[in-house]
Amino acid sequence: MTTECFRCGWCGQPTDCDGYVLTYDELTAMSVDWGKATMTHGDCCPRDPNTSEPRIVTKEMAMDAQDPDLEGREY
């Protein structure tokens, strides 16, 4: 049986079906093909894509980028 997976359609962050960002433990526990993920609107990105509100790199995002120094920075 294949587990269904989801990603934010804006930034690509892995999420659950409701758009909540997955923790590192949840992410590593899943054995899925993230290239075939269903796109959703993740909580990692603002609801209005035209907003100038700064966004902060999460620990999970920094780990995905393989650069822990990115955590906490604005993008």
Please tell me the distance from the alpha carbon of residue 75 to that of residue 62, in angstroms, as a whole number.
Answer: 12
**41-72 per-position pLDDT tens digit:** 888 887 665 666 667 888 888 888 888 888 88
Confidence of residue 1 (pLDDT cuts 50, 70, 90): very low
Judge whether residue 15 has pLDDT over 60. yes
Residues 6+ apart with CB under 8 A from 51: none
Q: What is the dihedral of CA 60, 65, 66, 67, to 10 degrees?
A: -90
